[in-house]
Amino acid sequence: MKIGFIGLGVMGLPMAGHLIAAGHELHLYRVKEKSRSLVEQGGQAADSARAVAEASDIVILMVPDTPDVDAVLFGEDGVAEGLSAGKTVIDMSSISPVATQDFAGRIAELGCAYLDAPVSGGEAGAKAASLSIMVGGTQEDFDRVLPVLETMGKNITLVGDVGAGQTAKVANQIIVALTIGAVSEGLLFASKAGADPAKVRSALMGGLASSKILEMHGQRMIDRTFEPGFRISLHQKDINNALSAARSLKLSLPSTALCQELFNACAAQGDGELDHSGLVKALETMAAHKVAEDS
């Protein structure tokens, strides 16, 4: 298929690579030095989002935040200017569910389909093509693009109408943030009490407390390896979406708000570009104690 891909960062770069490897004709916007390898693999660089849309039947977005999606879709030389009836836009970014519905309506006015399909699994999942993909849209549109999504992910679910994918992703990010907080507190408590946090983590992995977060991010906290797979600054953005949506629903999410304050504390210390497992550093500052010493 002729596919456009906009957003070639930590996640988008390997995702686009899988599409090229699967034999799709890929049109790329914002190719930089780090993503030049995609052109070497057969991708075609374009000079605008509009040019990508003109050359493609499906346009995939993987950009950081709601304003970025807005600009790419509707800004000067944006995707909307290059669309013609019958084309499809798939937004795989993690953005506001409310804005998603607005964007979808404006794209529908052009005679085009729109699906929101945010992902979970981080850089490792993107590289392994094992992402969980949460989709909002019609069954017909979902069935049509499913083979494309299967190139990038494994657990692919049509959650509901447009916006439902983003709602699921917000729920995912709430759970992930709270679990990182729980793992941080558990390992910090163990370390402060004099136990070996590595052995505590190993013991907990065999019980009800076991989780991917304990497995992966617990190890990061012990090893002090906070190079970003998913940055604190991006998780802050997702939790902002959660708390904003909660206010509109007249819903209280107190634990989510607490995690956001911990992320905010990390950012205030200049740690916003660390992996989100770095949330533990905010708790370590308050405790004047680290889970483990820096190597």
Give the active site residues. Answer: 169
32: buried, middle or exposed (CB in 10 Å: 19+, 13-18, 0-12)?
exposed
CA 177 to chain CA centroid, Å, is 13
**Full DSSP string of 255-274:** HHHHHHHHHHHHHHTT-TTS
Q: How many CB atoms lie within 10 A of CB 23?
A: 10
- Measured CA to CA, the distance from residue 125 to residue 114 in angstroms comes to 24
Q: Are the C-beta atoms of residues 229 and 124 closer than 8 Å to each other? A: yes
Q: Are the C-beta atoms of residues 136 and 165 closer than 8 Å to each other? A: yes
Q: Is the dihedral angle over the CA atoms 33, 36, 38, 41 positive or is it negative? A: negative
131-136 vs 119-120, strand pairing mode: antiparallel
Q: Are the C-beta atoms of residues 100 and 124 closer than 8 Å to each other? A: no
What own/partner pairs with CB < 8 Å and gap ≥ 24 does 191-194 have? Answer: 191/289, 191/290, 191/291, 191/292, 192/287, 192/289
119-120 vs 58-61, strand pairing mode: unpaired
**H or E stretch including 155?**
strand 153-160
